[in-house]
Amino acid sequence: MFDSVKPFGNQDFNALKRECQKRNQLFEDPLFIADDESLFCTTALLSNVRWKRPTEICNSPHLFVDGMSAHDLNQGQLGNCWFVAACSCLASRYTLWQKVIPNWKEQEWAVDRPNNYAGIFHFRFWRFGEWIDVVVDDRLPTVNGQLIYCHSNSKNEFWSALVEKAYAKLAGCYESLDGGNTADALVDFTGGVSEPVDLVQGNLATLENEKLQLFEKLLKVYSREGLISCSIRVTSAAEIETRLTTGLVKGHAYAVTDIRKVRLGHGLFAFFKAEKLFMIRMRNPWGQKEWNGPWSDSSQEWQKVGKGEREAMGVTVRDDGEFWMSFDDFCTNFTDLVVCRIMNTSFFSFYKTWEEAMTRGAWTRHEDPLQNRAGGCINNRDTFLQNPQYIFDVKKEVDEVLICLQQKDVRYNRKQGKGEKLSMGFEVYRVELNRNYRMHTIQQKVASSVYINSKTIFLREQLPQGRYIVIPTTFEPGIQGEFLLRIFTDVPSNFRELTLNEPPRTCWSGMCGHPSLVTQVHVVSASGLAQQDGTTGADPYVIIRCGREKVRSPIHKDTVNPEFNVKGIFYRKDPKKPIRIEVWNNNVMSDQFLGQVTVIADPSDLQPHHTLHLRDKGNRQDNDLPGTISLQISSSHELAGI
Catalytic hit among 41, 81, 230, 340? 81
207 in the same domain as 180? no
Asked if pLDDT for residue 510 goes beyond 70, the answer is no
Provide the mean pLDDT of the chain: 89
Strands 6-7 and 130-137: parallel
Cα dihedral 365, 369, 375, 380 sign: positive
Q: Which of 71, 252, 522, 556 is catalytic?
A: 252
Residue ending a domain, choose from 315, 341, 367: 341
In a domain, 505, yes or no: no
Residues 249 and 220 in one domain: yes
> How many domains does the chain fold into?
4
Within a domain: residue 376?
Answer: yes
Catalytic status, residue 122: no
* Residue at 348 is within a domain: no
Do residues 232 and 280 share a domain? yes
Residues 463 and 366 in one domain: yes
pTM above 0.95, yes or no: no
* pLDDT above 90 (res 437): yes
pLDDT tens, residue by residue, 198-229: 999 877 777 888 999 999 999 999 988 899 99
The CATH number given to whatever domain includes residue 521 is: 2.60.40.150
In a domain, 285, yes or no: yes
Same domain, 276 and 371: no
Q: What is the pLDDT of residues 554-605, one digit of tens each?
A: 999 999 999 999 999 999 998 889 999 999 999 888 999 999 999 998 888 7
Are residue 227 and residue 333 in the same domain, yes or no?
A: yes
Domain boundary among the residues 190, 209, 234 is at 190
Q: Are residues 529 and 591 in the same domain?
A: yes
**Rounded distance between C-alpha atoms, residue 401 and residue 106, angstroms:** 41
* CATH number of the CATH domain containing 257: 3.90.70.10
Residues 34 and 119 in one domain: yes
In a domain, 485, yes or no: yes
| Amino acid at residue number 492 | P
Query: Which range marks the domain in which residue 141 is found?
Result: 6-190
284 classed as catalytic: yes
Write down the catalytic residue from 284, 333, 387, 585. 284
Task: Classify residue 504: in a domain, yes or no.
Answer: no
Convert 282-337 into a string of H (helix), E (strand) and C (coil): EECCCCCCCCCCCCCCCCHHHHHECHHHHHHHCCCCCCCCEEEEEHHHHHHHCCEE
pLDDT exceeds cutoff 50 at 14: yes
Same-domain pairing of 359 and 296: no
Q: Residue 252 domain-assigned?
A: yes
Residues 395 and 411 in one domain: yes
For residues 36 and 123, membership in a common domain is answered with yes
Strand partners of residue 493: none
Among this protein's residues, is 507 annotated catalytic? no
Q: Of 190, 215, 232, which residue constitutes the final position of a domain?
A: 190
Residue 466: phi and psi, rounded to 5, are 160, -175
Tell me, yes or no, whether 488 and 528 share the same domain. no
Tell whether 412 is covered by a domain. Answer: yes
Distances (CA, A) of 484 to 422, 497, 613: 13, 12, 48
Q: Are 441 and 323 in contact (CB under 8 A)?
A: no
For residue 144, count other CB atoms closer than 10 A to its CB.
Answer: 7
1 band by pLDDT with thresholds 50, 70 and 90 = very low
